[in-house]
C-alpha cells in the first residue's frame, strides 16, 4: 500500500511524508486506463497523477474503443479480463481501426495473470507490453517512459 499511495514509513526520529516521484508532466502525455474494477481505476489514476500524467478511464472494452476513436492517447493501459469485451478483443478492434487510420497507439496489458505464456498471449493479441498486477508506480513510470512518445505513424 505504501508504494501505491506514495506514503512511506517515517524514519526513526523523523517525520513522515510522501516520497514524491520524479514528474513526467513535461512530456505532456495523455493516457487511457481501461479497467473494470473501480478501486483499480482509482489507484491507477492516482499513481499517474502523482507522476504528472493526465489520465482518462474506460470501464470496459467497448468504452476503450470509443475513447480511442474520440481522443488521441499516447498510451493505453488495458486490463485483460473484463466482462462483455475483454482487453484482447478491444485491442484487436483498435488495431483493425488503426490499419485504416495510419496511427498506432501503444497498448500495455495490465493483468493479474503472471503465468508462463501470458506475456506472449498479450503480445500476439497486438499489445505492445505487459504489466502484472498489482500495478506499481515504478512499473507505470517505466512503461510511460518506454512507450509514451508521440503516436507512431504506420508505414
As a whole number of Å, the end-to-end CA separation of the chain is: 43
Residues 128 and 140: their CA atoms lie apart, in Å, by 14
The answer to whether the beta carbons of residues 73 and 96 sit under 8 Å apart is no
| Grid cell locating 39 | 478501486
Residue 149: the pLDDT is 56
Question: 3-class SS at 147?
Answer: helix
The answer to whether the beta carbons of residues 80 and 106 sit under 8 Å apart is no
With a cut of 80, say whether residue 123 has pLDDT above it.
yes
Residues 88-122 pLDDT 10s: 999 999 999 999 888 899 999 998 866 777 888 89
Residue 11: the pLDDT is 40
Query: Locate cell 513535461: which residue?
Result: 26
Question: 3-class SS at 48?
Answer: helix
With a cut of 90, say whether residue 39 has pLDDT above it.
yes
Q: Across the chain, how many H-helices and E-strands are there? A: 6, 9
Q: What is the mean pLDDT of residues 35-53?
A: 93
Amino acid at each position: 500500500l505504501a508504494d501505491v499511495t506514495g506514503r512511506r514509513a517515517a524514519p526513526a526520529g523523523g517525520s513522515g511524508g510522501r516520497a514524491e516521484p520524479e514528474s513526467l508532466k513535461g512530456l505532456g502525455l495523455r493516457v487511457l486506463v481501461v479497467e473494470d474494477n473501480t478501486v483499480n481505476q482509482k489507484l491507477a489514476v492516482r499513481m499517474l497523477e502523482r507522476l504528472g500524467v493526465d489520465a482518462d478511464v474506460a470501464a470496459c472494452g467497448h468504452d476503450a474503443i470509443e475513447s480511442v476513436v474520440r481522443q488521441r492517447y499516447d498510451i493505453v493501459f488495458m486490463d485483460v479480463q473484463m466482462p462483455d469485451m475483454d482487453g484482447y478483443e478491444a485491442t484487436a478492434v483498435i488495431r483493425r481501426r488503426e490499419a485504416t487510420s495510419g496511427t498506432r497507439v501503444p497498448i500495455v496489458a495490465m493483468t493479474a495473470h503472471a503465468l508462463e505464456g501470458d506475456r506472449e498471449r498479450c503480445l500476439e493479441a497486438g499489445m505492445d507490453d505487459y504489466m502484472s498486477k498489482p500495478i506499481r508506480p515504478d512499473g507505470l513510470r517505466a512503461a510511460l517512459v518506454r512507450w509514451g512518445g508521440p503516436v507512431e505513424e504506420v508505414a
